[in-house]
Amino acid sequence: MADTVSEQIAALSDEDWAIREEAATLLGALNDARAVLPLTKLLRDTDRAVREAAIGSLSALGSASVPALAGCLADPALQVQEAASAVLASIADARVFRPLVEALGSRDWIVRMHAAKGLGRIGDPEAVSVLMPLLQDKVKAVREEASSALAAIGAAAVLGLIQALEHDDWLVRLHAVEALGKLKSPESVDPLLRALFNERDSAIREDVVRALGAIRDARAVDYLVTVMKEPGLRLLAVEALGHIGDSRAVPLLRRVVEGVPLGEPRATATPCADGWTDEMAIMGMAARALGMIADGVAIPSLIVALRNTITRSEAAAALTKFGPAVIPSLLPMLAKEQDENIRYHVRETLTAVGWRPGRV
């Protein structure tokens, strides 16, 4: 009986690129380790479709491909290194930890990017020290993968990332903040709060607020309330307070959603073509935040917000988060309101919380 695997391996040398592509694809489905070395040779093929078929099959073969692909990371051809690093990043086999560490020093940014991703998926704490320098890589994609990898490694990366908040390079500080937000470690809350008030770079301060919202630690509430006085941080602070979900923020958020000014508007803010402004966006975000917190004392403010075209949709969506508790407040509106748009949102909200016509 013919050996199908051997036949397809032989077809990898055919002059017709379509035959080589088909054979490479079939070898991935046949799941035979004998195909690994022949498929790695196709990473040098002159036809892109053939190379992509080989990459797909090597990925499908999984751990059987690891030793051969590890060797490809040192190949003189950068296209081979790129392909091998991409497959290894998806397989994330611990056996290739050292080759991936070495690949972080590649002159090819695509190889560095995939190597960082693979190390994050492997999750070995030993990778922390070699990934940290990549937070200042000249290529954004590499910096972002290094940040994500450090976050994926977890607790072992926290100390290094906290120390990176003091780094001279603003890019390192920026990506350290992003990683700490992904890690959601309580240990990072106090260092991030210090950065919130000591950092001079506005982009980093914005990411600090996002990170604090992602971590959802109540220690940040009072500080976020304070930075709401700054127009550039107000929208992000409102969103973060919603994610944290602490009722201490409700009185302030009620003022915002009702349109009570909190301070000076952003100096550079100008309405868009349709008249939309930053403050309008903040009011809408405050409605969403009140829905996230779902403290019943906010219901009257959200009812007020239903009457405002700026906040109507967000207020209606937020009210659904309270469940049947909003029915007594909405039924009188449904009975007396003349504005059909308001009636529509009231009816939709009532339906969403389980009310049906004729049912008390």
Rounded CA-CA distance 101/357 in Å is 65
pLDDT value of position 177:
96
Question: Is residue 271 exposed (0-12), middle (13-18) or buried (19+ Cβ within 10 Å)?
Answer: exposed
pLDDT value of position 275:
52
Residue with tokens 């695997």, as numbered in its chain: 5
pLDDT value of position 357:
79
Give the residue ranges of the chain where pLDDT is below 70.
Answer: 1-2, 262-276, 358-360
Which three-class secondary structure state does DSSP give residue 165? coil
**Residue 96, Cα to own-chain centre: how many angstroms?**
26
| Residue range 138-185, pLDDT digits in tens | 999 999 999 999 999 999 999 999 999 999 999 999 999 999 999 999
Provide the strand spans (E) within the chain.
none
Q: What percent of the residues of the chain are helix, what percent strand, and what percent coil, each to the nearest 5?
A: 75, 0, 25
Tokens encoding 23: 């054979």
Reported residue count of the chain is 360
Rounded CA-CA distance 163/167 in Å is 7
Tokens encoding 74: 């040192």
Tokens encoding 184: 């959601």
Cα-Cα-Cα-Cα torsion 36, 40, 41, 46, nearest 10 degrees, comes to: 130
pLDDT value of position 269:
47
| Residue range 269-321, pLDDT digits in tens | 444 445 557 889 999 999 999 999 999 999 999 999 999 999 999 999 999 99
Looking at residue 264, what DSSP letter applies? P
Sequence letter at residue 301: S
Cα angle for residues 39, 114, 122 (degrees, 5° grid): 95
Domains along the sequence of the chain with CATH: 1-122 (1.25.10.10), 125-215 (1.25.10.10), 244-360 (1.25.10.10)
Tokens encoding 228: 């709401």
pLDDT value of position 264:
54
Tokens encoding 253: 């958020």
**Taking a C-beta distance cutoff of 8 angstroms, is the pair 174, 203 a contact?**
yes
Rounded CA-CA distance 264/254 in Å is 18
Q: How many CB atoms lie within 10 A of CB 128?
A: 19
pLDDT value of position 270:
47
**Taking a C-beta distance cutoff of 8 angstroms, is the pair 24, 57 a contact?**
yes
Sequence letter at residue 295: D
Rounded CA-CA distance 133/152 in Å is 16
In the chain, the largest separation of any two C-alpha atoms, in whole Å, equals: 84
Q: Which residues lie below 8 Å from residue 6, measured CB to CB, with a gap of 6+?
A: 34
**Considering the entire predicted model, what is its pTM?**
0.81
Tokens encoding 263: 């301070």
Sequence letter at residue 353: V
Cα angle for residues 162, 246, 322 (degrees, 5° grid): 135
pLDDT value of position 358:
64
Q: How many CB atoms lie within 10 A of CB 59?
A: 17
